Amino acid sequence: MTTTGRRESKAIAPKLLLLALAVAALLSPWASSHPDGLERVAEDLGFISLAEEATLFSGWMPDYLFPGLRHEGLATALAGVVGTLLAWVAVLGLGKLLTLARR
């Protein structure tokens, strides 16, 4: 990648992060509350209780709700924002590792 290409990438990255945060905050409260495909099959076939009992660990934001907030829409929006930031940090960290490994 050229130097100009890197500068353009660095200039657009914060804008993309802001867009992703806006989407996470504004659209996540309207996400479907229906179970996903695997959860639906487990419910239909009657073994969902086995899966719930066999939890390996409890998530920090179960059911995509930020803990401690009573307003469900706000708790979901904040969980979306936190998840987006965590994914962003993970991608940046992986990119740094790959860049260091390439040298």
Give whole-number Cα distances, 72 to 31, 33, 40, 83, 84, in Å: 12, 12, 22, 16, 18
Confidence of residue 5 (pLDDT cuts 50, 70, 90): low
Prediction pTM value: 0.74
The full set of domain ranges for the chain reads 16-102
How confident is the model over 71-76, as a mean pLDDT? 93
Local confidence band at 1 (pLDDT 50, 70, 90 cut-offs): low
Residue with the two structure tokens 């639906």? 40
pLDDT at 57: 67
pLDDT exceeds 70 at position 67: yes
- Is 50's pLDDT higher than 90? no
DSSP 2-53: -HHHHHHHHHHHHHHHHHHHHHHHHHGGGS--S--HHHHHHHHHT-HHHHHH
